[in-house]
Amino acid sequence: MSFKILGTGRFIPPKIVTNDDLSKFMDTSDEWIVERTGIRERHVCTEETTVDMAVEAAKNALENSGVDPSELDMILFTTSSGDYTTPANACLVQARIGATCPAMDVVSGCPAFLFMLDCAAGYFARGRVKKMLCISAERMSRVLDWDDRNTAVIFGDGAGAVVLGEGDSYLTSRLYVRGSTIIQIPNYDGKSPFYTSHAETPWVHMKGQETFKFAVTRLVTDIKDVLSDTSLSMDDIRHIIPHQANLRIIDAARKRFKTREDLFYVNIDRYGNTSSATIPIALDELNRAGKIEKGDYLILSAFGAGLSSASCVIRW
């Protein structure tokens, strides 16, 4: 017993920031950003918090699944840009949607949605839950150094959610970690007069090119690995939903597998990298557009801070 996906949801803050908007206060250009990343615009919060976005995505997914908050047995939540270190952001969602079940946060950078699904599969396997809500919400605008053109242009805000029920749709998964801080958001280091040094500023710090190489290698390896766990071939897969960090990373994987042009889902042009919210947002877009049918096989694959990566195969 693992789970099946009963419904999906998302919330995207309405404020759009184009590359030209950024170039008004940063030394960058639409041409550079489109050519080097594939991003044309991203959505950013103005008054919405991370939990606000999560609540809207959760309500949306509950409605889509026909599940009432009172039926939930557990809420899991991933974020690298939460409103709080404690309480867990999941606890605040629990209260605001009117659920009464346990709730907690799972932290694992950009691939956290997939680490969360793997935790969820464990709860179902142990027979501890019948219905679960899994949410990823990211207010990356809060943790960016807006003076750093290397990072500020590539991220965006948003939230996605899925409601899970008992089933056998989660066919296989692979999780990978190689501990490193080459992508990091340090916590605020406090004001202790006793520390002899202080950590870096609490913004995203990323060694772009090292991350790029890690990303391409993991995307290709992880997709191959999960596929080899099943009796499926690439021709059996309806969509591969890769983490949206850079269109060149997706293109590199696409070339490596020599797949049909539209097999890898792409929406980075509209959202940038929304960290762990990326995959559930994409899943909801495909679901609501009627582009996933019962029985379709999907590969979800993500990489990022950790360094970590994860992939899984799901039968819809």
Among residues 152 and 226, whose Cβ is nearest to ligand ACO? 152
Taking the complex as a whole, the smallest distance from the CB of residue 292 to ligand ACO amounts, in Å, to 25
In whole angstroms, what is the distance from residue 142 CA to residue 18 CA? 18
In whole angstroms, what is the distance from residue 57 CA to residue 137 CA? 8
Taking the complex as a whole, the smallest distance from the CB of residue 156 to ligand ACO amounts, in Å, to 12
Among residues 207 and 238, whose Cβ is nearest to ligand ACO? 207
Write the DSSP symbol of residue 293. Answer: -
Residue type for position 250? I
Taking the complex as a whole, the smallest distance from the CB of residue 269 to ligand ACO amounts, in Å, to 14
**Catalytic site includes residue 243:** yes
In whole angstroms, what is the distance from residue 83 CA to residue 80 CA? 10
Among residues 37 and 173, whose Cβ is nearest to ligand ACO? 37
Annotated catalytic residue, options 110, 134, 287, 312: 110
Closest Cα to residue 117, out of 249, 269, 310?
A: 310
Ranked by CB distance to ligand ACO, the top (closest) residue is 304
Residue 233 DSSP SS3: coil
**Catalytic site includes residue 134:** no
Place of tokens 């599969």: 121
Among residues 149 and 238, whose Cβ is nearest to ligand ACO? 149
Which tokens sit at 91? Answer: 């606890």
**Catalytic site includes residue 110:** yes
In whole angstroms, what is the distance from residue 249 CA to residue 227 CA? 19
Among residues 7 and 272, whose Cβ is nearest to ligand ACO? 272
Annotated catalytic residue, options 43, 60, 239, 243: 243
Among residues 28 and 89, whose Cβ is nearest to ligand ACO? 28
Task: Give CB contacts under 8 A, 24+ apart, made by 123-129.
Answer: 123/73, 123/74, 124/1, 124/2, 124/3, 124/164, 124/166, 125/1, 125/2, 127/1, 128/73, 128/74, 129/73, 129/74
CB 108 within 8 A of CB 78: yes
Q: Which residues face 166 on adjacent strands?
A: 3
CB 143 within 8 A of CB 202: yes
Taking the complex as a whole, the smallest distance from the CB of residue 282 to ligand ACO amounts, in Å, to 15
Peptide bond into 164 cis (omega under 30): no
Taking the complex as a whole, the smallest distance from the CB of residue 150 to ligand ACO amounts, in Å, to 5
Contacts with ligand ACO by CB under 6 A lie at 28, 32-33, 36-37, 80, 109-110, 149-150, 153-154, 183, 208-209, 211-212, 215, 245-246, 249, 275, 304-305
Annotated catalytic residue, options 19, 60, 64, 273: 273
5 sits in which H/E element: strand 2-11
Taking the complex as a whole, the smallest distance from the CB of residue 231 to ligand ACO amounts, in Å, to 31
Taking the complex as a whole, the smallest distance from the CB of residue 47 to ligand ACO amounts, in Å, to 24
Among residues 232 and 252, whose Cβ is nearest to ligand ACO? 252
Would you please indicate which residues are annotated as catalytic (active-site) residues? 110, 243, 273
